[in-house]
Copies of this chain bind each other. A is one copy, B any other.
Amino acid sequence: MRIAIDAMGGDHAPEEIIKGALEARQALDGDDELQLIGPPDVLEAQLRTLGAGPDIVQIVPADEVIGMDDPPVESLRRKRKSSIAVMARLAAHGETDAVLSAGNTGACVAACQLRMRTLPGVHRPGIAAVLPTLGGPVTMCDVGANVSCKPINLYQYAVMSCVYARRLLNIEQPRVAIMSIGEEEAKGNELVRRTRELLRADPELNFVGNVEGRDIFDGVCDVVICEGFVGNVILKLTEGLVDMVFRAIKQELIAGNLRLAMEFKPIITEIYKKYDYHEYGGALLLGANGTAIICHGSSKSRTIKNAILVAKKFHTLKINERIVARLAQCLVKPNGQ
């Protein structure tokens, strides 16, 4: 298969992106093809620095770059030769089988939605991120593609995330929960209450009810659905908070006991390794008509490598075909909402 990579996206582009691509290259099959998108001179120079031959990856020219903080839609319109725009066009024209970027998330989502369109039956795509927890991986959708959701969107995120969790994370009957602010039926907002009716009406879903913020990490569910605004807040809060806790420990250790601090370091490293979301290599844009992976802006080579392997797996396991088949059987339809 062919995988197109935005070599200019992310805080550590292009070096770490290209490094990650080269690392993935070793794990892929001989007939898999990696397409690096960016200014050819920059990419060629970087490949040379990393000691890679020119034939190991294909270079797809794109002379412009959308900055991490540029306004998404406006930038896409203005920079038609940007790596993100070129990447989405490759997918739209059938010139690649999967796309991947650690660049401006908003621009990425917009480009994929606009160019790749949605799978048959899908109302709006959603970003599915996998959170590592003590109870195992939890798939959360949406974490930022769809800021204001309708009940049908959340319902479809549940259906798609279940296919994803079953096939990619090997969870046979994923337990689906909806993010709310109380476990009782009556609690939550209008969106939660209306979505719950749809979830409950689908006998194929293993719907376990409301889940609160504190429960996500407790192993009570495998899939959590929420509006993009809430999901994105959760994702970023999780990052910031874990970071703060470890910094607090560090401060305390350094102030009090330097030997203990040294002894404690490998423990922290071990925990970071076990609960590292980089392991899951980026988030899938579920519902896009193709395979699209959005990586964290801070991605280093390992994340990019893992994301490329996830793209391969997602494509090989025909997850999109399974999503389409599953949605076709659903009694809940977009037009019904």
Chain A residues within 8 Å of B, Cβ to Cβ: 69, 71-72, 106, 133-134, 144, 147-148, 179, 181-184, 186-190, 212-218, 228-230, 232-249, 251-253, 256-257, 260, 263-264, 267, 270-271, 274-275
Contact = CB atoms under 8 A, between A and B. Distances in A.
B245 A245 contact: yes
Contacts of A218: 240, 244
A190 B148 contact: yes
Nearest to A73: B186
A241 B244 contact: no
Q: Which of A181, A247, A253, A267 has the most CB of B within 10 A?
A: A181
Nearest to A181: B232
Contacts of A238: 213, 237, 241
A238 to B, nearest CB: 6
The oligomer's copy count stands at 2
A134 B249 CA distance: 11
B244 A133 contact: yes
Nearest to A105: B182
A71 B184 contact: yes
A245 B242 contact: yes
Contacts of A246: 245
A144 B181 contact: yes
Contact of A271 (B186, B215, B243, B252): B252
A214 B230 contact: no
A147 B186 CA distance: 12
Nearest 8 pairs of A and B residues by beta carbon: A214-B240, A213-B237, A213-B236, A181-B232, A217-B244, A214-B236, A213-B233, A147-B189
Contacts of A187: 106
Given A134-B248, A213-B238, 6 more contacts: A181-B232, A181-B233, A212-B236, A214-B237, A216-B237, A260-B260
